[in-house]
């Protein structure tokens, strides 16, 4: 994997201020940490393959309608490359069923503590085989610390649905990010999109990645089988399809998220951000407060690429595209300060 040195990245940042940016780096920084010494190459420029993954899914081991084996089969047939089964409070380990073309990552979803509204914090905990016997009343950071010490990769679930606000999210340490999109929360009552929550913490300096998930419980109604399923996923760039490589890529932001469109390229070079995607109606560049821009397709047409010249005030810049059906895809932010 191509790596860009921290010095090169800082030089790029300095060049940004001078108006001649040469920067296509992704800082591998966990939330709450100071910028890390290692700087990760942009996943769109890095070598490796894209792997499609579901990282928040339920089965009959908690409140889902399909058995773990049926969940795995359904994702495999749908073209997914990996699955993290995240039943409530119980770890399901299907790793014995993994093979060269499909990876199962033992995982769990836990609820702890209460937010201002009295709702539990839900966290998704990836890459664990041993459950922790912490009570649901455990203070949220204490629980996260315990899982992090056990080597887990952790993110916060459905922030909008749970009524989380930035003041509750900002203090949380050792998480890789939040769910920018949750299909189940969207089909439940329209609270699936948490882009505002994400930007709320990004503008305040949090370095969080955004993940699209289903949180599927395999809910059906007449004419709409499993309507909370296959609506959000992550596309991870990795050299290998194994648990350590995929989890490392997730921690380092080597992925984008989608509920439909494909993102083909996203980079910043010579002070210009560039995004290329499958046919879309809208492409957004989203930076700090008012900085960024939108490219819209003319009526009856589509756009597949857009550019944005940076002015040095963006602090971070992420890309979005939206297709004619309203499905979206989100790059992770490139941090600029």
- Where on the chain is the footprint of Zn ion (CB under 5 A)? 109, 122, 157, 215
Contact between 243 and 249 under an 8 Å Cβ cutoff? The reply is no
Q: How far is the CB of 62 from Zn ion (least distance, A)?
A: 8
Q: How far is the CB of 52 from Zn ion (least distance, A)?
A: 19
Nearer to Zn ion, 147 or 335 (CB): 147
Instruction: Determine whether 290 is exposed, middle or buried from the number of CB atoms within 10 Å of its CB (0-12, 13-18, 19+).
Output: exposed
Q: How far is the CB of 59 from Zn ion (least distance, A)?
A: 11
Nearer to Zn ion, 121 or 274 (CB): 121
Distance CA 263, CA 280 (A): 10
How big is the chain, counted in residues?
Answer: 337
Nearer to Zn ion, 49 or 89 (CB): 89
Q: How far is the CB of 273 from Zn ion (least distance, A)?
A: 34
> Where are the alpha helices (H) located in 164-311, listed in sequence order?
166-169, 183-189, 195-202, 243-251
Nearer to Zn ion, 200 or 215 (CB): 215
Of 68, 61, 56, 53, give the one whose Cα is nearest residue 102: 53
Residue owning tokens 């505002």: 196
Nearer to Zn ion, 154 or 157 (CB): 157
Distance CA 249, CA 180 (A): 18
**Could you tell me the two tokens for 125?**
């905990």
Nearer to Zn ion, 46 or 83 (CB): 83
Q: How far is the CB of 132 from Zn ion (least distance, A)?
A: 17
Of 20, 75, 41, 106, give the one whose Cα is nearest residue 234: 75
Q: How far is the CB of 169 from Zn ion (least distance, A)?
A: 15
Contact between 305 and 277 under an 8 Å Cβ cutoff? The reply is yes
Of 104, 13, 4, 8, give the one whose Cα is nearest residue 335: 13
**Could you tell me the two tokens for 14?**
């300095």
Contact between 99 and 137 under an 8 Å Cβ cutoff? The reply is no
Of 52, 26, 54, give the one whose Cα is nearest residue 241: 52
Nearer to Zn ion, 122 or 206 (CB): 122
Q: How far is the CB of 64 from Zn ion (least distance, A)?
A: 9
**Using CB atoms, what's the residue nearest to Zn ion?**
122
């Amino acid at each position: 994997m191509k790596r860009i040195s921290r010095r090169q990245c800082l030089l790029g940042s300095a060049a940004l201020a001078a108006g001649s940016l040469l920067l296509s780096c992704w800082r591998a920084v966990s939330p709450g940490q100071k910028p890390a010494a290692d700087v990760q190459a942009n996943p769109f420029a890095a070598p490796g393959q894209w792997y499609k993954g579901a990282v928040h899914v339920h089965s009959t081991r908690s409140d889902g309608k399909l058995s773990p084996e049926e969940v795995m089969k359904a994702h495999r047939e749908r073209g997914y490359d990996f699955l993290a089964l995240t039943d409530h409070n119980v770890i399901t380990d299907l790793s014995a069923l993994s093979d060269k073309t499909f990876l199962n990552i033992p995982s769990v979803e836990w609820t702890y503590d209460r937010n201002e509204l009295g709702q539990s914090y839900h966290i998704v905990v990836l890459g664990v085989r041993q459950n922790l016997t912490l009570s649901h009343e455990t203070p949220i950071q204490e629980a996260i610390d315990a899982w992090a010490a056990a080597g887990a990769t952790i993110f916060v679930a459905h922030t909008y649905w749970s009524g989380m606000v930035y003041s509750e999210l900002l203090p949380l340490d050792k998480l890789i990010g939040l769910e920018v999109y949750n299909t189940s929360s969207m089909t439940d009552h329209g609270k699936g999109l948490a882009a505002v929550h994400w930007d709320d913490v990004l503008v305040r300096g949090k370095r969080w990645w955004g993940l699209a998930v289903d949180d599927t419980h395999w809910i059906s109604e007449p004419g709409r089988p499993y309507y909370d399923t296959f609506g959000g996923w992550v596309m991870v760039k990795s050299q290998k399809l194994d648990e350590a490589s995929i989890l490392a890529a997730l921690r380092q932001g080597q992925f984008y998220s989608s509920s439909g469109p494909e993102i083909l390229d996203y980079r910043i070079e010579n002070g210009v951000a560039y995004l290329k995607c499958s046919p879309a109606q809208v492409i957004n560049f989203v930076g700090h407060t008012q900085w960024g821009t939108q490219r819209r397709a003319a009526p009856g047409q589509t756009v597949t690429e857009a550019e944005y010249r940076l002015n040095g005030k963006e602090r971070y810049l992420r890309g979005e595209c939206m297709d004619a059906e309203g499905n979206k895809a989100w790059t992770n932010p490139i941090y600029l300060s």
